[in-house]
Structure 1
Amino acid sequence: MGANYPSALKRLWTWANDALADGRTKSFELSKEAFGATKKQVIFLSDIHAVCSGGEIAGSIICIYIHFLNEYVKKQKMTNMINFIDPGMIGVIGCDNAGQRNHWTLTVANPEAGIVYYMDPLKRRIANGEWVEVVDNAIKMYKEDQNKVSKKKIGVPVQTGNKDCGMFVMRYMKEIVEDKELEFVVKWMRRTNRVYTDDDVNEIRTDFAKYFIKRHAN
């Protein structure tokens, strides 16, 4: 950790190395307000190390970050515009596909318009059974007619490392939530050459660290 390493991440790293040593864990519950249901989640030392120094991001980390974003949504009085779903309910873990639990993408559903948007940090092809199953599960949760839903891929900044997908997905969510007009489709549909810098990614890490220390590091 150099002199320019974010101080919040240093504090998180120090806390985790002490509190989560020797196989100890930190448990928390998903907020019913944010996810519509409660469920216990667990954080491991390796999860915090992945946030602080790079690594594969666990679903529990993304869920905590969603809690952080949900507080922003409430503050901005946007709860009638944005809702979240536990990724474990509709993703590959929810589909019992253990062989495909190594990559994060973001799916944004607009039930009223009948459109689902797909954001993949690797820009993989949209026509794959994995994502279709995720989307269909999400639509079922909203009790929408699957045959009336249009599925569209959006050009977004592409991950640069082989373990950045989780951070990039959280960055996508942050930008969507912070846009009060929800114009992310216009912003990204044109597939610009925009990239995320280290500062863009570190902002997500810092957001997480500050929120986690405030809410869970006790």
Structure 2
Amino acid sequence: MKFRVVTTRKGKSKNIDDASRGLADRLSKRKGNDIIFMPYNPGRHWVLGVLDMKSDTCYYLDSLSSGNFNMQLKQICPVQPGSTECGYYMLRFMKEIVEEGIEVLVKDNIGDGKAEYTTADIYEIREQWSKFVTGFIYR
């Protein structure tokens, strides 16, 4: 399974239309990726978009979802308990999809059915990502 991370490059676009066009251009040039991750921060909160290119399905993972959303969308991910964990949740979602495949989303099982991640889960992802990034810094 091939993965790719695509950013919206919000800082380079003057408005949402320009950002949307830029993202669409980058997606149209993809080369055989099965799953495309789109981490996004619309303002003080991280969310994750996941495109399954084989089934033409888009998943929107928002750990702060309040339940006030379109009924065609359903909550398939753990909800963060506070107001500062969104980045860790988004990274954990990406890790689980990479390790377990898109099936974890298809089966609505991201987070192994947990309502929220534990402090230990957050600590684990913090450690893993810090080691990963440190590996690039001290090569």
Q: Same fold (TM over 0.5)?
A: yes
**Cross-structure match for 2:116:** 195
Identity %: 28
Alignment of 1:75-90 (within 5 A): 78-79=1-2, 82-86=3-7, 88-89=8-9
Q: Give the whole-Å Cα distance in 1 for the aligned partners of 2:82 and 2:13.
A: 26
Does the 8 A contact of 1:176 with 1:184 survive in 2?
A: yes
Q: Give the whole-Å Cα distance in 1 for the aligned partners of 2:14 and 2:55.
A: 26
How far residue 95 of structure 1 moved from its aligned partner, in angstroms, is 6.9
**TM-score, structure 1 as length reference:** 0.43
2:51 counterpart of 1:109: yes
Does the 8 A contact of 1:154 with 1:185 survive in 2?
A: no
RMSD: 3.0
Q: Give the whole-Å Cα distance in 1 for the aligned partners of 2:12 and 2:81.
A: 25
Does the 8 A contact of 1:116 with 1:152 survive in 2?
A: no
CA shift in 2, pair 1:193/1:182, >3 Å: closer
**What amino acid is aligned across from residue 169 of structure 1 in structure 2?**
M
**Cross-structure match for 1:170:** 91
Gaps of 5+ in 2: 17-41
Q: Give the whole-Å Cα distance in 2 for the aligned partners of 1:93 and 1:158.
A: 31
Q: Give the whole-Å Cα distance in 1 for the aligned partners of 2:84 and 2:128.
A: 19
Aligned residues: 111
Q: Give the whole-Å Cα distance in 2 for the aligned partners of 1:83 and 1:181.
A: 13
Structure showing greater Rg: 1
**Cross-structure match for 2:125:** 204
How far residue 104 of structure 1 moved from its aligned partner, in angstroms, is 0.9
Q: Give the whole-Å Cα distance in 1 for the aligned partners of 2:81 and 2:105.
A: 21
Does the 8 A contact of 1:109 with 1:117 survive in 2?
A: yes
CA shift in 2, pair 1:92/1:200, >3 Å: farther
Q: Give the whole-Å Cα distance in 2 for the aligned partners of 1:110 and 1:181.
A: 7
RCO comparison, higher one (Cα < 8 Å, 6+) = 1
Q: Give the whole-Å Cα distance in 2 for the aligned partners of 1:206 and 1:113.
A: 33
Please identify which structure carries the higher helix content. 1
Gaps of 5+ in 1: 1-77, 128-150
Write out per-residue CA displacement over residues 41-63 of structure 1, whole angstroms, 9 at most, x where no aligned residue: xxxxxxxxxxxxxxxxxxxxxxx
Please identify which structure carries the higher strand content. 2
